[in-house]
Chains A and B, each alone.
Chain A
Amino acid sequence: MESSFNIGEEIVKGTKDVFSTMLMVELESETVCKSCPIESNLTSMIGLGGGIRGMLAIHCPASVATAITGGFLGMNVEEINEDVKDAVGEIANMIAGNLKVSYASVDMKIELAIPTSIIGDSFVVTGIADASRIIAPFTMPAGKFWVELMYVNNT
């Protein structure tokens, strides 16, 4: 893999790209971290296979999840419903799609599984002990959210 390839930067770039083209929202990003506190009422995640084994997830508090959906549908959304699940799942799919393109630029082919959503007030998502974890925190007017990549390299 090329030494200039920084997957954290690719995630930040790919996520900002999805939000500016799909929702006309310019995101603020913070420094990428390995473990930082996450607050989520809706997590949409997608399994990754092929060149890496892992998963990509977007973790949203209710305020952000409903704002994303409202932006998509052009209407006010008050609570987490089917539309919200689908909208955030679609955002996750597009961010994963950008990640797939990023990896392809360094000749690594990855496959995407189907998005799955976890909705609730009190849950945590964890991977396996030896997985690498990259968390990118973002801020939009409705609040903060996080995009996370967990992976192990296939060697």
Chain B
Amino acid sequence: MLGGNVKTILSDKGRDIDLSMPTTISGRQYDFQPTKEVERIVIPFSCDVGEFLIEMQLEK
């Protein structure tokens, strides 16, 4: 749904994007990193039960 909103915002501005399939990674201990040089945007959020992050990576 977040991806869909980003797609809508970008296509309204004349830059349509394709969304691939959502994938979920779950586990007790792992690290998630881009492989190529990317621009990263990380936005922290908090709600009653705790904090979470939304991240977007775009190829430079």
Contact = CB atoms under 8 A, between A and B. Distances in A.
Interface of A: 44-45, 47-50, 53-55, 85-86, 89-90, 92-93, 111, 113-128, 131, 150-152
Interface of B: 18-36, 38, 57, 59
For the complex, would chain B's binding face be called helix, strand, loop or mixed by DSSP majority? strand
A126 B25 CA distance: 6
B27 A123 contact: yes
B18 A114 contact: no
Contacts of B22: 127-128
Given A123-B26, A125-B25, A118 B20 contact: no
Contacts of A117: 32-35
Contacts of B25: 118, 123-126
A53 B20 contact: yes
Contacts of B33: 85, 116-119
A49 B19 contact: yes
Given A150-B21, A151-B21, A89 B36 contact: yes
A53 B29 contact: no
For the complex, would chain A's binding face be called helix, strand, loop or mixed by DSSP majority? strand
A127 B19 contact: no
B42 to A, nearest CB: 14
Contacts of A49: 18-20
A117 B22 CA distance: 15
A87 B25 CA distance: 21
B21 A128 contact: yes
Contact of B18 (A50, A85, A90, A127): A50
B18 A124 contact: no
Contact of A120 (B27, B38, B57, B59): B27
Contacts of A50: 18
19 contacts: A50-B18, A53-B19, A55-B20, A55-B23, A89-B35, A93-B35, A114-B57, A114-B59, A117-B32, A117-B33, A119-B31, A120-B27, A120-B30, A123-B28, A124-B26, A126-B23, A128-B22, A150-B23, A152-B21
